[in-house]
Structure 1
Amino acid sequence: MDRRNSTDVSHFVLVGLTGSEGLGRALFTLFLLIYLTSVLGNAGMILLIRLDLQLHTPMYFFLSHLSFLDLSYSNVITPKTLENLLTSTKHISYVSCFSQLYFFIFLGTTECLLLSSMAYDRYVAICKPLHYPVVMSSRLCCSLIFGSYGKGFLDSVINVLCMSRLHFCDSNIIHHFFCDTSPILALSCTDTHDIEIMIFIFAGSTLMGSLTIICGSYLSILSTVLKISSTSGRRKAFSTCASHLLGVTVFYGTLIFTYLRPQKSYSFGKDQVASVFYTIVIPMLNPLIYSLRNQDVKKALIRVLQREGSRLLQ
């Protein structure tokens, strides 16, 4: 459609998760509890890793950044969702909408690459334990972190710049509870084919590239673990990877379901359920997964509490 027939919108309307006032209040209470748990859990994980010297290792260095990303994720999506569950006017300005989209893509891309870095760390720790201190040097760890953030920044800038050139004609109603690519593309009256291909390439390369590293790392880990003769040795090796593998499975499962498929198959109900899971629930689950299944984190928490408690008593 010609640009002369398009309308430059100043704001969008988010349909949200429900039109029922009673269900909205129930979801508000549930999501508020999840949000508070996520903020406290991730902030607590960052603080614990910073305070306990025994957690100053590559594995927990990456984990602290994962907690930072999950904390940021929660603050990008959940507050506006909570507001919309209690209000009848669900407006979001054009600038705020694309800002939310930018940080959503940036944090999601960075987290994908960070999870692959964590998988490589576990591969080196189990398959090449004698070389671990040399291979996983501070320089390499920082390079992996900066590379993850850099790729996330580049992908989000390109995606948002391309989508900001879209024009909207008949409606400004986004059939979602936050500003995501699929529902925004569905509103545009201009041809979105090229942008859809570009988004698919960027999302696909990030997801499949990081998944390839993760799968390759864990296949090597599995091969090495199966060669361990003692049952206790195999159990210990698996336990060091179990938390990360569980977190990867949950995170990538919902992302692949949502994004690695044609935009024509976009389903309002199904995509909302998946989106709630990886934008609101997963940021809460990650600190629980990595703390409840990790003896090092439990012991570190006890040490920090004992140390801080003794300081207060002095």
Structure 2
Amino acid sequence: MFFDRVRIRVQAGGGGNGIIAFRREKYVPRGGPSGGDGGKGGDVYLQADPGLWTLIDFRYRHTYQAGRGQHGQGKNMHGAGGEDIVIKVPVGTVVRDVHTGEVAADLTEAGQQVLVARGGRGGRGNARFVTPTDRAPRRAEEGQPGEERWLDLELKLLADVGLVGLPNAGKSTLLSRLSAARPKIADYPFTTLAPVLGVVKVDYGVSFVMADIPGLIAGAHAGAGLGHEFLRHIERTRVLVQVVDVSPGQDVVASMVTVERELELYGHGLPEKPRLVVASKIDVPGAEEGLAILAAHVPGGHVWPVSGVTGAGLEDLVRHLAGMLKEPLR
């Protein structure tokens, strides 16, 4: 199961208490104060781990607590600091504070680390309170509590190219032919129930990441079907590939209009992204008619006919996409 939203509680460690103590040594009748400070509480960090793909590790554990600082001791010995904890999350995780709704972090790079809860300061021991008029203070401070926060973690996958289209348009077949990804493929709508990533190799040392999301239907921007839940996973892509089934019996114009409208209504920068229209299933007898209708509807007639079954047109498509990705972002 694909987990891309979770809520967790993080608790930083409290600071240790300072103590009241005095030197007690032979031949030192008036030993001064020697109470040490308490240690600082541990901090809580989030770190982007490229080895994680979902938030499933948070399914059964929702609370994370750092270590408490140890109390001070006599002989001016300070307490040890509490142990920090580092919580690993997938690259592409957006962190929001539940109470304020503000984005606390957007972890888009491997190894990126952010402090989300700061440990409490340790209390001062009585040795800190010596003054010219009070040589033997009998007071010390308690440690301060660590920060506590509730955080919403939302995963937005990082991919270069995003596949969009109606259910059963051939997106999963296309991804399986272009990469080593093995999404579920069947001849019925909503076969894909979760985003799937695949690495597409162009040449030696040259590749890009392609994402397939569940098919869109009318009203997807408002929650219909599965599209609304997963459209955010293509917000970070640089290029969108709109896959249209041109096999006989398909209304290719309606397919185009439906997807374009859903992207427009969803917003978040998707309508402005460079888009490539791909005609799928051209191996099916009679697909030429649907291809001609689609080409007439697309401005300039720029349509890439491909077949996920025979592999026709796939190599040219990959090289064209690689060229688009080399262009600077606008």
TM (norm. structure 2) is: 0.20
The structure whose residues are more often helix, as a share, is: 1
The structure whose residues are more often strand, as a share, is: 2
TM (norm. structure 1) is: 0.21
